[in-house]
Amino acid sequence: MPKPTWKTFSPAQKAALIAAGTVQTALFAAAWADLSLRPEERLNGSKTAWRAALFLNFVGPAAYLALGRKKSDWTEADIPDQSGKVVIVTGANSGLGFETARALAQRGAAVIMACRNPAKADTAAKKIQSLNPAGSVSVMALDLGNLDSVRSFVEAFKAKYNRLDLLINNAGIMVPPQGKTEQGFETQFGVNHLAHFALSAQLIDLLNATPGARVISVSSTAHRFGQMDFDDLNWKTRPYNAWQAYGQSKLANLLFIYELQRKLDAARKGTLALAAHPGYAATGLQGEGGGMQLANRLFAQTQQMGALPTLYAATAPDVRGGQYFGPSGLAELGGNPQRAMSSERSHNISDAWTLWKISEELTGTAFSV
């Protein structure tokens, strides 16, 4: 009997082979990507063994996806009592920030919704108040596109409060047309990183004076394609690319948090610096275009689920400084929160130190831990 060859296969047989190969390749790619992102403690077994198993035809990838990953079941219901705690959430009038503020207020915290548009924030605050939370919400004006507004916010906050338990650097913008902040910084780098750097610097004394305080910055999986161009952080000489600028700003969030924790440790302070990302959550951040909204409806998790990694970083008792949290599902797109791994570039100590010094110079802020 002659050995079958590609030419002797019928169209139906060829289509079946192509389909089987495509499925196998897709399973392998999905499993490999997820395994690469997952810390060892989030696996049932060793990473080395699972990498080897992925090459076993369909069986390895399917086994990994079904059995290899530890599941998280942490939800809002697991948030400890937050009574007596004072919390700042930037960008709390919508999206992830709103859900973060709501959840913390419902657990007893006094939440300050730090927002650029006080009218929208007031509407959001009334929605939370209508839920009769155990804590409280109040609105304070903060425009992260203007460092003068950051200073004014800090002065107003310190005049009213003598403690700060949680600073949640949540507000952000994503892939807008090229623009500038009031001080002339590229908008995404200025809002997503520099303003939160300045805000954290001016509040670090209150944080360090409050037992158990934490600083949380919300990053993104987009940090993985981010690169720090220290010669042109504000896109003054190179052609503007909104996605690359966004990735740079999200990488800056992580470099900042990791360096802050190193400085806190060196100064023997008890404040924790942590980071989180929401995975793929349906928020207004992706814009109002029909394509993005359709994708949100089909694939994204809810805002409430997207806020869980931030809430975990802010409240879970077992976290350690310098950790990063994200969804526990496939490729960290969705699911309940667990510890995540960030890119090798985000752990570059030299880049973190350089970014810190440049951020101090650009914002005119001395960040003394």
Look at residue 20 in the predicted model and tell me its pLDDT: 79
Q: Which residues contact 258 (CB under 8 A, 6 or more apart)?
A: 273, 322, 346, 347, 352
DSSP 332: G
Contacts 24+ apart (CB under 8 A), 154-161: 154/199, 154/202, 154/203, 157/88, 157/112, 157/203, 158/206, 161/86, 161/206
97 and 123 Cβ atoms separated by less than 8 Å: no
Q: Residue 136, SS3? A: strand
pLDDT of the residue at 286: 44
- Residues sharing a CB contact under 8 Å with residue 151, sequence separation 6 or more, in sequence order: 198, 202
- Which pLDDT belongs to residue 184? 98
Rg of the chain over CA atoms, in angstroms? Answer: 23
Residue 163: which residues within 8 A CB-CB, separation 6 or more? 86, 206, 209, 210
Sequence-distant (≥ 6) Cβ neighbours of residue 141 within 8 angstroms: 114, 115, 116, 118, 149, 152, 153
**141 membership: H or E segment, kind and range:** strand 136-141
Q: What is the pLDDT of residue 283?
A: 66
* Active-site residue, 246 included: yes
Q: How many other CB atoms are found less than 10 A from the CB of residue 20?
A: 11
Q: What pLDDT, on the 0 to 100 scale, is given for residue 1?
A: 57
Q: Which of 64, 161, 246, 324 is catalytic?
A: 246
Note the pTM of the prediction, 2 decimals: 0.88
pLDDT of residue 291: 47
Instruction: Answer for the pair 304, 96: CB distance below 8 angstroms, yes or no.
Output: no
Task: Name the stretches of the chain with pLDDT < 50.
Answer: 286-292, 294-295
Q: Measured at the alpha carbon of residue 285, what is the angle toward residues 194 and 124, in degrees to the nearest 5?
A: 95
CB 156 within 8 A of CB 140: yes
